[in-house]
Amino acid sequence: MELLRPSSADEATAALGNGSVALAGGTELVPLLRDGLVTADKLVHIGAAVPRGIDGTTIGAGTTLAELEADPQIPQALREACSLAASPQLRSMGTVGGNLLQATRCWYWRLGFDCWLHGGERCLAKAGAHREHAIFGNELCASAHPSDVGAALLALGASVRTTQRELPVGDLYRLPTADDRSTTTLAPDELILELDVPVPEASTYLKAMDRRKWAFPIVGVAAVRGNGGIRIALAGVAPIPWTLDGTAALDDATPLPGTAYKVEIARALVRRAVEGIADAAR
């Protein structure tokens, strides 16, 4: 396998596609390569091709979660989402761009079973073990998106600048369909360059985990106050980061037998998060 180190986004883009894959911190990609879930002839290290750092409301895609959680310019929901993600070692390597593009943690998928998302006939989790799985958007694939950061950015109304376009962060994602089973809308040769994160009046991120630290979200709730309203987004509840149109929308959840408990956790966390930002600033 060849490792390329392009010095600009244009060079990196030209090198991507056709069996080449972008490598940032490698905390997600390297295990996927090791386990044969991603194959690549060339790795394109984007450290020098993608901006890194924070400038007002602009965040370079190469900024690490550790840098985000420590910066007072960053809205509280995003800082909290970063600080509750993974471990300190992973946060010091893992970038925000890579976090948004992480694959599902569904064990059927990670262990290479021939499930629907891998191109098979059916979702094995629905009939099997699915305690960590989805309560929304789970008709074809019941995986739960693991990105705390994605939910925080969604609630904050962040937008993304790529090498091809500008789009709301929610438009980076799509529910997989029978004719296209991918969960993102990014082209193979498209790079996330920067994020723009508007400053809210107040925001918070709460997370239920199996352990108190260093675990993926069972349910993550981001709540943001601004522009006369409150926006809520959830992690760990659907194959993609999920916008919740108010607490009542939890009544429309479609849990599996083993995920019904997540609806109640989400209800409690949403209530707590909304109460928490009622008077708080940022």
Question: What is the footprint of ligand SF4 within residues 74-113 (CB under 6 A)?
Answer: 104, 106, 108-109
Torsion angles phi and psi, residue 62, rounded to 5 = -85, 5
Among 13, 76, 99, 143, binds ligand FAD (CB under 6 A): 99
Long-range contacts of 242-250, Cβ-Cβ distance < 8 Å, separation of 24 or more: 242/136, 242/137, 242/145, 242/151, 242/154, 243/154, 243/155, 243/170, 244/270, 247/271, 247/274
Find the binding residues for ligand SF4 in span 128-147 (CB under 6 A).
133, 141-143
The order of strands in the sheet holding 166-168 is: 54-55, 58-60, 192-196, 159-162, 166-168
Q: Among 83, 147, 183, 203, which residue sits at the site for ligand FAD (rule: CB under 6 A)? A: 147
| 209: exposed, middle or buried (Cβ count in 10 Å: 0-12, 13-18, 19+) | middle
Stretch that binds ligand SF4, among 115-123, 190-198, 208-216, 227-235 (CB under 6 A): 115-123
Taking each helix axis from N to C terminus, what angle separates 76-83 and 148-155, rounded to the nearest 10 degrees? 170
Q: Which does 219 bind (CB under 5 to 8 A by kind): ligand SF4, ligand FAD, none?
A: none
Q: How far is the CB of 120 from ligand SF4 (least distance, A)?
A: 8
Q: Which of 49, 77, 101, 125 binds ligand SF4 (CB under 6 A)?
A: 125
Q: Which does 83 bind (CB under 5 to 8 A by kind): ligand FAD, ligand SF4, none?
A: none
Under the rule (CB under 6 A), what is the footprint of ligand FAD?
21-29, 46, 50, 61, 65, 85-86, 90, 93-95, 97-99, 101-102, 146-149, 191-192, 216
